[in-house]
Chain A
Amino acid sequence: EIVLTQSPDFQSVTPKEKVTITCRASQNIGNNLHWYQQKPDQSPKVLIKYASQSFSGVPSRFSGSGSGTDFTLTINSLEAEDAAMYYCHQSNSLPWTFGQGTKVEI
C-alpha cells in the first residue's frame, strides 16, 4: 500500500498570503496524484488532477506541481473562503490512498 504523508498538518495564515502544502509518497507514483479541498460538512472536491492539471471551475490561484514521490499544492493570494482541509490522493495502484490532510485556517 502506498502511504502519502502531508505536511504541515496545520497552517494558520492571513488573507493574500501564499500557502504551500506538500505530499510525499512512499514510492514512485509518477504523476498519479490528485488534490482535494473539503470544507466542514461537505464532500471533498477536486482541485488538481494528475499533479499539475487544474480541474474545471477551480480558481487559478490553486496550482500543483511535482512527480515521482514529492508533490506540492500552492494557493496563491489566499482568500477567506479557502479555509478548509486539503488532501492528496494517489491513483497509481490499488488500494487508492489519501494523505492525512492539512488544515488551513485563516
Chain B
Amino acid sequence: QVQLQQSGPGLVKPSQTLSLTCAISGDSVSDKSGAWNWIRQSPSRGLEWLGRTYYRSKWYNDYALSVKSRITINPDTSKNQFSLQLNSVTPEDTAVYFCAKTQWGKNWFDPWGQGTLVTISS
C-alpha cells in the first residue's frame, strides 16, 4: 500500500522560496510506471495541478504554465522522496499543498499526501 507523507514549513515570507517534501513508502520514486505530482488548493483558485516528475530511463518534469518560471520538482532517490520548490512567493501562493501519485495509463490521483497549509506572510 503506497503512502505519502508530506513535510515542510507552514509559514513562508513573501519573495522567499516555498519548499515541501513528500516521502514515499510502499513504492519507489524511480518506478517506471509512476509519476509524482504536486497539487495545491485555495479558495480563490480551487484545486490546481502544479507539476510532476517521473522516471522513464531518465528523469522528466512537466509544469503548469501558471508557475513554470518559479517551480522545481526534484526526485531524491536516496531518500525515496520528491520535493517542491516554488520561488518568489506572494500571498497568492497561500494554499494547502498536496503531493499525489498517478500511474502511466491510470492518470487519476491516488494516493494523496495529507496536505500542508502554507501561508505566505511577513
Contacts of A55 in B (CB 8 A): 108, 110
Cα distance, A98 to B31, chains bound together (Å): 26
Interface-centre pick from B37, B109, B111, B114 (highest chain A CB count, 10 A): B109
Interface residue from B47, B49, B102, B107 paired with A44 (Cβ < 8 Å):
B47
- Chain B, range 86-122, C-beta contacts under 8 Å to A: 98, 100, 102, 106-115
Query: Contacts A43-B115, A44-B98 given; 9 further ones with Cβ under 8 A?
Result: A36-B109, A43-B111, A45-B112, A46-B108, A89-B109, A95-B65, A96-B49, A98-B49, A101-B47
Contacts of A36 in B (CB 8 A): 109
Q: Judge whether B107 and A100 touch: CB under 8 Å.
A: no
Contacts of A98 in B (CB 8 A): 46-49
Q: B-contacting residues of A (Cβ < 8 Å)?
A: 1, 32, 34, 36, 43-46, 49, 55, 87, 89, 91, 94-101
B27 at the A/B interface (Cβ < 8 Å)? no
